Amino acid sequence: MSWLDEVKWNEKGLVAVVTVEAETGELLMQAWANREALQAAVDEGRGIYWSRSRRCIWRKGEESGHVQKLVDVYLDCDGDTVCYRVEQTGAACHTGRRSCFFRKLDNDSWRLVEPNGDEN
């Protein structure tokens, strides 16, 4: 049995992947991986995902240069979420922000939060 067989893939053959900065634990992004992407991430030592919109393997930073060096891979207790610990080069978010999580719920509205945690 392969380590990949322990992952609980959803009905589309995907697993959620949360990605955090290895040194700080900063939450960078959430994406999806299929079996091929997860195996490739481990083999190549970089953040690799499945793009649901493009329906293909997505090597983070292929176009932007904002690559992720894979440090560790974790599987949660239910087996249905993977965590990539990475060394992020540049922005993780396609908007150019360090993290995709830059909006905080505050009194029923979303406020922009700067990388240092300050609110706009």
Per-domain residue ranges for the chain?
3-92
| Residue 86: burial class (beta carbons within 10 Å; 0-12, 13-18, 19+) | buried
At residue 24, the pLDDT reads 96
Distance (Å, whole) CA 15 – CA 91: 23
Domain formed by 3-92, architecture: Roll (3.10)
pTM to 2 decimal places? 0.90
113 DSSP assignment: B
Per-residue pLDDT of 10-34, as tens digits, reads: 999 999 999 999 999 999 999 999 9
d(CA 120, CA 113): 6
Q: How far apart are CA 19 and CA 31, in angstroms?
A: 8
Q: pLDDT tens digits, residue range 63-94?
A: 999 999 999 999 999 999 999 999 999 999 99
| Number of helical H runs and strand E runs in the chain | 1, 8
Residue 119: pLDDT above 60? Answer: no
